[in-house]
């Protein structure tokens, strides 16, 4: 009898080298039904890698409403089907119906740091004096989305003067230099990243 009600027919139909079909032994062995070491998740279209290796089976394979039994087939493979967007949809592409594609900026290893490439994905590469400046120095704009404060990365001004004060001399702007005076000016200006928001 197939307790899985045909859910695994495809995998059970796979053949051994001698031509016979695998049947239940695609996943089970004669030791015990519970011991499913014969089942190799890396042979599915969703290998368990990185942080997913330590996740319990039942956290991804939930029982459908009204059932006690975990469902395996048809488990979604896209990140956003299982993970909520903590970014308040600020990164959702316009053509995707508000769905944020996590894999654009994250892998299954860890959430932070992200794989977001500032130099390629914004019009403000972090070069010269901006290499290794901490993100919060330029990004501190928070907005409430459904009762939670969420960090918004845009708008952030791109104008030198918006962050470094109005009196940077033109040649400094060109050369990317500031003097001690500007630094003081800069330090006095609180709320970088908020500067544009009032508009």
Q: Does 96 bind ligand HEC (CB under 6 A)?
A: no
Q: Which positions from 30 through 89 interact with ligand HEC, judged by CB under 6 A?
A: 33-34, 36, 39, 41, 44-46, 48, 51-52, 55, 57, 59-61, 70, 72-73, 75-83, 85-87
Site for ligand HEC (CB under 6 A): which residue of 88, 141, 156, 165? 156
Query: Could you tell me which stretch among 13-21, 97-105, 141-149 binds ligand HEC (CB under 6 A)?
Result: 97-105
Q: Does 160 bind ligand HEC (CB under 6 A)?
A: yes
Q: Does 164 bind ligand HEC (CB under 6 A)?
A: yes
Q: Does 11 bind ligand HEC (CB under 6 A)?
A: yes
Query: Which residue from 159, 91, 80 is spatially nearest to 121, judged by alpha carbons?
Result: 91
**What's the rounded Cα separation, in Å, for the pair 159 and 154?**
14
Q: What is the largest CA-CA distance in the chain?
A: 82
Q: Does 13 bind ligand HEC (CB under 6 A)?
A: no
Q: Does 173 bind ligand HEC (CB under 6 A)?
A: yes
Q: Which residues pair with residue 15 across a beta bridge?
A: 21
Q: Does 142 bind ligand HEC (CB under 6 A)?
A: no
Closest CB 18 distance from ligand HEC, rounded Å: 18
Nearer to ligand HEC among residue 108 and residue 145 (C-beta): 108
Closest CB 183 distance from ligand HEC, rounded Å: 5
Nearer to ligand HEC among residue 30 and residue 34 (C-beta): 34
The per-residue DSSP string of the chain comes to: --TTTTTTHHHHTPBPTTS-B-GGGGT--SS-SS--TT--GGGSSS---GGGGGS-HHHHSPPPTT-SS---TT---SHHHHS--TTTTTT--GGGTT---GGGT--SS-SSS----HHHHSSS---GGGTT--HHHH---EEEETTEEEE---S----HHHHH-TT--HHHHHHT---HHHHHHHHH---TTTTTTT-
Q: Does 28 bind ligand HEC (CB under 6 A)?
A: yes
Q: Does 108 bind ligand HEC (CB under 6 A)?
A: yes
Q: Does 167 bind ligand HEC (CB under 6 A)?
A: no
């Amino acid at each position: 009898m197939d307790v899985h009600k045909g859910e695994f027919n495809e995998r059970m139909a796979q053949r051994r080298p001698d031509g016979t079909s695998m049947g239940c032994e695609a996943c089970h062995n004669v030791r015990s039904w519970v011991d499913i070491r014969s089942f190799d998740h890396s042979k599915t279209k969703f290998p368990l890698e990185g942080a997913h290796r330590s996740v319990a089976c039942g956290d991804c394979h939930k029982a459908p409403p009204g059932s006690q039994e975990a469902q395996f087939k048809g488990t979604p493979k896209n990140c956003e089907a299982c993970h909520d967007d903590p970014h308040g949809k600020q990164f959702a592409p316009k053509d995707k119906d508000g769905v944020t594609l996590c894999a654009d900026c994250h892998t299954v290893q860890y959430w932070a740091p992200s794989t977001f490439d500032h130099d390629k994905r914004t019009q403000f590469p972090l070069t010269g004096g901006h290499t290794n400046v901490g993100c919060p120095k330029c990004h501190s704009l928070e907005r409430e989305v459904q009762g939670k404060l969420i960090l918004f990365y845009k708008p952030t001004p791109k104008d030198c003067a918006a962050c470094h004060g109005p009196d940077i001399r033109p040649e400094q702007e060109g050369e990317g230099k500031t003097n001690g005076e500007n630094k003081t000016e800069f330090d006095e200006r609180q709320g970088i990243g908020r500067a544009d928001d009032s508009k």
